[in-house]
Chains A and B, each alone.
Chain A
Amino acid sequence: MNALILTGSPKGRKSASFALASKLAEGLLENNVFVSHEPVHAGLRTEEGTRRLLDAVDGTDLVVLAFPLYVDSLPAPLTRLLELVAERRTRVASPGTPRLAAIVQCGFPEAHQCDTAVGICRLFAERTGMRWAGALAMGMGGSIGGDIGRLPGGGKHILDALKMAAESLAKGGAIPVEATTLFAKPLMPRWMYTMVGNLGWRMQMRKNKARRPLTYRPYSQG
């Protein structure tokens, strides 16, 4: 079996999405699945890269979309790739029936804010003849950075959920509900996440030597 992980974050290998997807890839490899990893934003910048992405989708048994929540859905380049895949699959006589799974993380504390994005991925799978294999969605993605090990408790429940998902996907199954529930478990109390986040924006401004106040209104002064 082979799997294709499509990372839909503009930050590529430095992203939380890549960090999560890499752990899933490790689990798949341990279960004898050959895994390839493609960054979507970089791929879509050229015709050759776009063709490579589409060919990779054509030739795989399992597609995993790993992305950050952007405005309640998928980042635009990943949406573009889904459009292109859908167009291509209508033109091909026997496009195959790969499975499709998703890993979504958002910067808000609540994992359920990813539900619309998961719904879009599921509908994409169903409307293009792929088989939906479930999703892992989490909130508090802002605390991951590029390193899951830095999370409270070493990110144990996240890693456990990814391992469970990998084992099931490798056997041809879907992501178990238990893994989805575990992955969605908050990493810390909501008040703590928002307090640290609010302080973090100020600290980042200082680091960037921002010359405007945080509340600046460039398009309507006053």
Chain B
Amino acid sequence: MKALVLDGSREGDPLTPVAVLGMTSALAGRVADVLLFKLRELAIAPCKGCFGCWTRTPGECVVEDGARDILRSYVGSDIVVYATPVTFGGYSSQLKKMLDRFIPVLDPRFTTVGGEVHHLLRYGRYPKTIGLGTLPSPDPEAERLFSLLVARNGLNIHQTVESIVLVGVADPESARSEAEALLDRAGVTA
């Protein structure tokens, strides 16, 4: 099994790197390969909204940058982790710049999922999505919105997801223990 971890931490963010460390060490005990991308160190352009990835070069973004390697890894992975400081209930801009570039993995045509319209899938299988958010202090509203957002992202690839928000977790051992529980819930076994 392969796992892809997208680290959406911002500069000076003390908690998300700890959560990522906990998650990668928990994954290392269960899967053969763990691939980590620290997004803020990568030049990834914002999505241009041109739909070239659907109507000009189907399946591939027309922009040639670091996003291509990540998409290739994504398609070849069994698990993907979205690690991010919870930002007003959503993702950080660092994680979001990559997620906005994910649309080539979908087929533009419409279908119905859970009673609402989404896109068809381009590939036969997609990695299990796991949301890993961090917050410095409890914020039930932000936590609820984050969980809903990850669940809605799961609908886009026609799957159910797992997510967690680590509140004030600053030591790697606690982060690992939370990650182990999350992976258990997600059915990721060695």
Contact = CB atoms under 8 A, between A and B. Distances in A.
Interface of A: 9-11, 15, 41, 68, 70-77, 79-80, 82-83, 86, 108-110, 112-113, 116, 119-121, 123-124, 127, 190, 194, 197-198, 201, 204-205, 207-208, 210, 212-220
A10 B104 CA distance: 17
A76 B123 CA distance: 25
A194 B108 CA distance: 11
B116 A127 contact: no
A82 B109 contact: no
Interface in B92-145: 92-93, 96-97, 99-100, 102-105, 107-110, 116-118, 122-124, 141-142, 145
B73 to A, nearest CB: 9
Nearest to B118: A108
B41 to A, nearest CB: 16
Given A190-B117, A214-B109, A116 B90 contact: yes
Contacts of A205: 54-56, 58
Interface stretch (B16-24, B44-52, B174-182): B44-52
A215 B122 contact: yes
Contacts of B97: 76
Contacts of A218: 59-60, 104
Given A82-B88, A108-B118, A201 B47 contact: no
A207 B73 CA distance: 31
7 contacts: A10-B47, A72-B153, A79-B91, A108-B117, A109-B116, A116-B148, A208-B56
B145 A116 contact: yes
B52 to A, nearest CB: 8
A83 B124 CA distance: 36
B75 interface: yes
A73 B109 contact: no
A205 B54 CA distance: 8
Nearest to A70: B100
B166 to A, nearest CB: 19
Nearest to B103: A71
Contacts of B89: 116, 119-120, 123
B134 to A, nearest CB: 15
Interface of B: 10, 46-49, 51-52, 54-60, 71-72, 74-76, 87-93, 96-97, 99-100, 102-105, 107-110, 116-118, 122-124, 141-142, 145, 148-149, 152-153, 156
A79 B56 contact: no
Given A83-B92, A123-B89, A220-B75, 17 more contacts: A71-B96, A72-B153, A75-B100, A76-B93, A76-B100, A79-B91, A116-B149, A116-B152, A119-B145, A127-B88, A205-B56, A210-B55, A214-B107, A217-B75, A217-B122, A218-B59, A218-B60
A210 B108 CA distance: 14
A124 B91 CA distance: 12
A131 to B, nearest CB: 15
Nearest to A199: B109
B46 to A, nearest CB: 5
Contacts of B124: 220
A73 B48 CA distance: 16
Nearest to A208: B56
B59 A210 contact: no
A-B pairs, 3 with minimum CB distance:
A80-B93, A76-B97, A204-B55
